[in-house]
Amino acid sequence: MKDTAVMETYKRMNIAPVSGRGSWLSDARGSRYLDFIAGIATNSLGHGHPALVEAVQEQAASLIHCSNLYEIPLQKEVAGLLTEKTDFDRVFFCNSGTEAVEAAIKLARKHAYTGHGPHKHEVLTFTRGFHGRTYGGLSATAQASYHEGFGPMLGGFAYAPFGDLDAARESVGPETAAVLVEPIQGEGGINAAPEGFLQGLRELCNAHGALLIFDEVQTGAGRTGHLYAYQGAGVVPDVLTSAKGLGGGVPVGAMLAREECASLGPGNHGSTFGGNPLAMAAAKAVLEVVSEPDFLEEVRFKGSVMKNALRTLADRVPGAEVRGEGLLLGLDLGPELAPEVFEKCLQEGLILNVIGGGTLRFAPPLTVTRAEVRTALDILRRVVDSLIAVPEEARLGTAVA
């Protein structure tokens, strides 16, 4: 069998996990890695969590998939869990974050079309954001590097600098159907919205009859220490997208909407696999764990410990910065040091990744133990100290003049 059969669309790490338990991954040679990326904020309950494993096994033995042409009781149950614990009334299930964003864009345009006519169709998004790789999500992503080679992008999108409320005001008008924003940008470098920005967007949408959409694909399902990040921000959007950690590793996406803007009806949108019994069993198991107040409080505590420790470490590196909330944190070390730290951490058995060019992302399982947090921080300190003690020219292999 050819080992080149898989299309090379990823720059992969030189490890091949075959099993996992808790916050740890193991490869075929028996090497163990402390997983502080969790499938990119997806393995919310870690690896092999008993509740999730049992739920998936039991459901797989009875019914994996039928069709959304029929009633799916588990789907209603999970939708009920989500609406009971949030400010939303309706849920559409799909399979991924970008599909949830697609659904939100369609809902916003249908809502505007119904209430105002076809002229009101534009969606405002922000620089450094990321909303997925389908054409709708890609067009909503205001980063040219993601667009290169795939143009033309879809029309009907406007972009403004993230965090700049004045620029957003200038960009919103009669044609604006929605404003789409991540409360904390994930792929763009773990950038939290500045004070007052999200509230300002809420007021702007109210004034112009536009929907406010929060992309919580990465920040949702307990990641920030709240079930959804908006609950800690004090700003309620009209629509919210969720995925990643919602299924704990099983593909699950969801779009949540308030009743007054839930404008999609039969034939407007759909998904073959969305909300299938297996996915719903996984989502139910995850939600029953991560929505508990004590669990979320522990996430906030562990996130605070990590953030404080990372700030202390950053103080020793000129220009370094720590950003994020809960167990979604970024340590910006710059484009030269960050990749080196990543490589050496991997050699020492700690899995992180580099985003935004020079930011290390920390997104461990929400079930990570306090002892594992200390272990990861010890490895990171040791690696950073070893690198900043070496002259830059020597680290980069260049000759000293």
Nearest to 141 by CA among 192, 198, 215, 209: 215
Q: Which residues are within 8 A (CB) of 209 and not within 5 positions of it... i.e. 6 or more apart?
A: 112, 115, 116, 120
Q: Where are the alpha helices (DSSP H) in 2-72?
A: 38-41, 50-62
Q: State pLDDT tens for residues 73-129.
A: 999 999 999 999 999 999 999 999 999 999 999 999 999 999 999 999 999 999 999
Helix (H) or strand (E) holding 360: strand 359-362
Element (DSSP H or E) covering residue 261: none
Summarised one tens digit per residue, pLDDT across range 150-162 is: 999 999 999 999 9
Q: Is 22 helix (H, G, I), strand (E, B) or coil?
A: strand
Q: What is the pLDDT of residues 34-50, one digit of tens each?
A: 999 999 999 999 999 99
DSSP code of residue 4: T
Higher pLDDT, 176 or 397: 176
d(CA 308, CA 166): 32
Q: Who contacts 349 (Cβ-Cβ below 8 Å, separation ≥6)? A: 31, 32, 33, 34, 379
pTM of structure? 0.94
> Annotated catalytic, 87?
no
Active-site residue identified among 35, 215, 238, 332: 215
Angle between helices 293-314 and 277-290 (to 10 degrees): 70
Q: Which one of the listed residues 130, 157, 197, 342 is annotated catalytic?
A: 130
**Is 378 known to be catalytic?**
no
240 sits in which H/E element = strand 239-242
- Residue 307 is among the residues annotated as catalytic for this protein: no
Query: Of residues 110, 244, 284, 307, which has the active-site annotation?
Result: 244
Q: Which residue segments constitute the domains of the chain, with CATH numbers given? A: 17-49+293-395 (3.90.1150.10), 63-290 (3.40.640.10)
